[in-house]
Chain A
Amino acid sequence: MTRIQGGLIDRNRPLSFRFDGRSYSGFEGDTLASALLANGVRLVGRSFKYHRPRGIFSAGSEEPNALVELREGARREPNTRATVVELYDGLVADSQNRIGSLEHDLLSVNDLFAPFFAAGFYYKTFMWPRAFWEKLYEPAIRRAAGLGSLSMLADPDAYDRGFQHPDLLVIGGGAAGLMAALTTGRAGASVLLADEDCRLGGRLLAEGGVIDDTPAADWVAGVVAELENLPNVRILTRTTVFGAYDHGVYGAVERVSDHLPEPGRKVRQTLWRISARHAILATGATERHIPFGDNDRPGIMLAGAMRAYVNRWAVTPQARAEDPVAIFTNNDDGHRTALALAARGVPLAGVIDTRSGVSSLGEYRTFAGATVTGTKGRKGLSAIELRHGGTSEWLNCGALGVSGGWNPNVHLASHHRGRPLWSDEKLAFVPDDNGPQGLLVAGAARGEGSTAEALADGARVALTALEALGISGTAPAIPVASEEPSAIEAFWHVPAKGRAWVDFQNDVTVKDIKLAHQENMRPVEHLKRWTTLGMATDQGKTANVTALAVMAELTGKTIPETGTTIFRPPYTPVSMGVLGGGDTGQRFRPRRLTPTHPWAEAQGAVFVEVGPWMRAQYFPRAGETHWRQTVDREARAVRASVGVCDVTTLGKIDVQGPDAGEFLNRIYANLMGTLKPGKVRYGLMLREDGIAYDDGTCACLAEGHYVVTTTTANAGLVYQRMEFARQCLWPELDVTLISTTDAWAQIAVAGPKSRELLSRIVDGFDMSNDAFPFMGCAELTVCGGLRARLFRISFSGELAYEIAVPARYGNALMERLMDTGKDLDVTAYGTEALGVLRIEKGHATANEINGQTTATMLGMDRMVSRKKDSIGAIMSRREGLSGDARRLVGFVPVDAGEPVVAGSHLVAPGDPVDMAHDQGWITSACYSPHVGSSIGLGYLVNGDSRLGQEFIAANPLEGQSVRVKAVSAHFVDPEGERLRD
C-alpha cells in the first residue's frame, strides 16, 4: 500500500473492487488507476504487438497503456482507460491482450520475435501467398495483436441526445476555463462550461498549489459555487467535447452514469450537439516523455502524473513506500514533481536532468547533464541506468517520472485542418489563428501553461469573446498564484542500442521511425501509416510530437519543416452506442402506420416495410399454410367479387390557385390543365433529363383545385420537386401546394361488386355508370354524413373505386365495408395481391419506372404532349431516348409449371447468354391465379412487334433458364371494358 495523507478522496467512503479476479479497496474519488497504485499494483496490461508488461503511464485521458476490460457480461467495455474510470463499489476490471494470466502471458513470446515486427511489418510479411491472408494471417494477427474483446451481447443501456445553443462554450474547466466562464458568466452571456473530468479544476487539482492564499482546490470550489449560482451558466462535468464542426457546432458526450455500477433509470451517456456563437478552448496541455532504452516498464510514468497521484489521489507511484523514486527531465517542471514527492515524504533517488549546470530546487540530488540509458525489472521497474560525465551507473528505484515538456492540447483548434505553429521558445506546437471560426484558445492549450499565466489568459480571452458577442464585460481581479519555474531545453530522445518506445499503445519505437526514414516513409502522413504511430485509440497524445522530433533529427530538418499530424475528431474515443442513439430494433427509425393498421393487426395481417410504412402484405386465414394460397385467394376475390385495400400511403398533394392548371401542365408530361371538375386523369411525370419519374392520378375537385396522387416511394420527392418548380422555375404562377397524405384514409374498393358495396354506404349518391363514370371524382358524404372523396379509378383492371375519408374514420370505414359486404364475399387484400393484380393488368410501378426507363419504353410516348412544355419534354425527344426500341410487354412460361423470375435477362433461343445478345429483362413477375401460371412484365427490344416469340429468360446467378413467350402486357381485359362497365 502506498496511500499517503491528504488528497481529494473521501476516506469515509471506502469502496471495494476486483482486478483480474483479486479484491482490492479504494475510496470515493479514486480512479481505477489511482486505486490500483494505492494497492501496489503496477502491472496492469500487455502491450499491443510485443505483449510487453505495461503499467500506468498517465493520470488522464491521454493514457496509452493502462487499458482494461471494464465490467462484466453485456456491459463489458474493452480498452477502457483505467486513468479515467471513476471507482465505484463492486467495480470489476480485467487486464486484456493476453493469453493465460497477465503475469505469464503466453504471447509475450512475441517480444522475442520483435525484429520481425518492425515498421511496415504487415505490409512486408503477409504479402504471399495471397490466399493465406483471410484464413491464416488475419485471424492469427487479430488474436495476437489486439486490445480487449467485445462481449458480443447487445448493449443493454439507453442513450440520449440533446441540443445546446449557448453564446459561449468553454471547453475545459481548469484555471483558464474557470476564469473564462467566470468572466463571461458575470457579464450575463449564456455560457456552457464542459469538462471531461468528474470535477472542475483541471490541473489545479493535481498541483496542490495556493491561489489567493487558499489551497487551489478550495479556490476552485469557491469559483464553482459562484458559477453554479449564475442562472446563465451551465456546467457539464464528465463531458468531453470531442469534435469541432462547421459554423460553431461542437459534439460532446456526457458520461451520465459511467461512474455508477449500473445506469438504473438513467441513460448511460448523452450526446450533446452544441451550437455556440463562440467557444473558448481551455483544454490544457499533455506532458510528453523522453524515449530511452527499455522505457516501457511498469513504474515509469509521466512526471506530472506522479504529481497528480500524490496531490489529488494521495498515492505514491512506487509499489512499496520505501522504494525511492527518480525523475528524468529536460525542464524545471520535472523538478517540481521532485519537490511535490519530497513534500509528501516520498524517498527520492534523484533528478536526472539532461541540462548541464542545473541545480536542485530542493533537498534532493540532481544529476545535471545526465540521461537515463537503461532500466531493469521484469514486471516492474527496479533500477535505472544513468549516464553522466562519461560514466554509467545503476540506480535502484521503484518508479521513474519522465518529463519532456508539455504539448498544448490544440486538437479541436485543428479539427478544420488548421495546423498549429511551432514555437521555438516554448518547444511546442501552439495554435495558430486558423482554427474553427469563433474558437479562441486560452491558457496552457496555447502554451500559457503556468497557473498564473492560465488564470490571466482565461480572463483575457474571455473579454475578447465578450467583445465578439457584443456583450460588455469587466476584467476580473486576477487571482494570485505562486511562481512556477518552467525553463526547458530541447531534448527529444536518448540514443539507445535496444528499443526505446515512442508510442506505447501501438508499440512504436525510435528504431521503427529510423526504419521508416531509411525506407523513405518520411512525410509525416507516411511515417504514421508505415509505423502505425499515433493510430491507436489514444491517437498518440503522448507520442506524436516526440516522433516528429525524432524524424526531424534524422532528416536534418526542423520540426516545423517535418510537419504536424492532422487532428481529427473524436478527441478521445466515443462509444458507438451514444452516436447511434438509444433506439434500436423496432424503434430504430420512425414507422408510419396506415389508418387501418389496428384493424389489420386484429385480422392477423402479415406486415411488410415499405420505406417508413408498415403495410399489410396479406391476410392469412385459418387453414392457409402458404402465403401463396392467401395471395391467390385475395387476388381471385377481386376479380370475382370485391376486395378492399388500404392505399393511404400514396402521396396526396393539394394544388390550389388560379394558375394550378397551367402549373400541372408543366409538371406532367401529358395535358392536365384541361381536366374538368369531377374528373380524374392518369398522369406521367418525367425528370428534366427525359427519363420517366413518377406516375399517378390527378383529380380536379373544383375549378383551380386539384389533388395530385404520387407513388408511395416518391411522395416526399415529388412534393419537393413541385415546390422547386413553383418557387424557383415559375414563381409567376399563382399556385399553392399542400401535402395532405396523412389527412385522408384512402381505401381501394375493387372488383365487379365494388359498385354494389359502395352504394350501401354512400348517402344518396348516384353511383350509376352514367352519373359517375370511369375516371370520375366527387366530394360526397358516407355512412350518415361523413365527408368523403370518391374516385373511380382502377389499378387492377376491374371496376374499381378509391374512397377517402378523414383519417380518424379510416379504421371504422374498413370495418364497415367488411361488415356490409359479407354477402358479397368482400375480401381484404394486401400489397402482395395488389402487385399480382397490377401485373395482370400490365400497370407499371417502380420496377418499370426505375430511373432508367422512358415514356417510349413504357409505350407512353404519345402521352408526352407536344402542345406544351413540361419538365423533361425536350430531353425525352433526344435520339438516345426516343429511339430506344425496348418496349414493355408481358411474358408467360412456355411450360406453365415453370416460374418467371424478375431480374432475368432475355436472349433469343440458341444465342449465348451474354450482354452482346441481350434482348431485355423481366421487371416484375408473380404467379397469376387468373392466367394459371407464372407471368411477368419486362422490357424487350422491339417488343411490340415480337409478341408470340419465344425467348430464354436467363438468371445466371441462380443457374436458372426458363423458356418464355412474349405476350401482351395486359393479361386481363385488354380492351379495358371491365373498368368502364
Chain B
Amino acid sequence: MLIPHPLLGLRDAQEFTYLGDASLMARPDPDQPDAEAAFADYVFLRDNPAGVHRELWFHEQGDRSWLVVTRNTVTHEILGAELATDVARRGA
C-alpha cells in the first residue's frame, strides 16, 4: 500500500502505523452530564463500513504526523489524505 502524505507525497504504508476510525478525534465533552455514556460510545463503538472509511494513520518512520486517510475498505483505493491536525482545527 502507498499512502499519499500531504507534505511528502506517496510513501509506503510500512512507514506508518494504523490506529483506526477517524472518529477517535471527536473526543466527547467531559463536562456534559451524559459524559460517561458518550465516552463509552467513543471508546467502544465503531462503524465498520464496507466502503469509504476515514481512518487515522501515524507516520512513525517519517515526520510523525497523524494523517486522516480516506480509504475504500473494499477496493483499498485511497481517496485522499490530510494532516489530522488540519482536520482537527477545522473541527471536522
List residues of A whose CB falls within 8 A of some B CB.
Answer: 245-249, 273, 275, 437, 688-689, 716, 720, 723-724, 726-729, 731-732, 869, 873-875, 877-878
Contact = CB atoms under 8 A, between A and B. Distances in A.
Nearest to B84: A728
Given A247-B2, A873-B30, 19 more contacts: A246-B76, A247-B76, A249-B1, A249-B12, A275-B12, A437-B77, A716-B60, A720-B58, A723-B64, A723-B66, A728-B24, A728-B56, A728-B66, A729-B25, A874-B36, A875-B40, A875-B43, A877-B36, A878-B40
18 contacts: A246-B1, A247-B2, A247-B76, A248-B2, A688-B27, A688-B39, A723-B66, A724-B19, A724-B66, A727-B83, A728-B66, A728-B84, A731-B85, A874-B35, A874-B36, A875-B40, A875-B43, A878-B36
Interface string B10-26: 10100001010000110
Contacts of A689: 43-44
Interface in B17-70: 17, 19, 24-25, 27-28, 30-31, 35-36, 39-40, 42-44, 56, 58, 60, 64-66
A249 B2 contact: yes
Nearest to B12: A275
Contacts, number: 72
Given A248-B2, A874-B36, A728 B85 contact: yes
B79 interface: no
Chain B binding site: helix, strand, loop or mixed by DSSP?
Answer: mixed
Contact of B88 (A246, A731, A869, A878): A731
B35 A727 contact: no
Contacts of A726: 85
Interface of B: 1-2, 10, 12, 17, 19, 24-25, 27-28, 30-31, 35-36, 39-40, 42-44, 56, 58, 60, 64-66, 76-78, 83-85, 87-89
B65 A874 contact: no
Given A728-B25, A728-B84, A731-B88, A275 B36 contact: no
B1 A247 contact: yes
B43 A688 contact: yes
A729 B89 contact: no
Contacts of B10: 247, 275
B60 to A, nearest CB: 7
A508 to B, nearest CB: 34
Nearest to A277: B10
Given A873-B30, A875-B43, A728 B88 contact: yes
Quick one: which of A246, A726, A878 has the most chain B CB within 10 A?
A246
B88 A720 contact: no
Closest 3 CB pairs between A and B? Answer: A727-B85, A869-B30, A247-B2
A874 B39 contact: yes
Contacts of B66: 723-724, 727-728
B78 to A, nearest CB: 7
B58 A723 contact: yes
Contacts of B65: 727
B60 A720 contact: yes
B24 to A, nearest CB: 7
Nearest to B27: A729
B27 to A, nearest CB: 5
Given A247-B78, A275-B12, A728-B24, A875 B36 contact: yes
Contacts of B36: 874-875, 877-878
Nearest to B17: A720
A727 B36 CA distance: 24
Given A247-B76, A723-B64, A873-B30, A275 B35 contact: no
Given A247-B78, A724-B66, A874-B35, A729 B88 contact: yes
Nearest to A738: B64
A723 B66 CA distance: 8
Nearest to A273: B12
A878 B65 CA distance: 33
Nearest to B25: A728
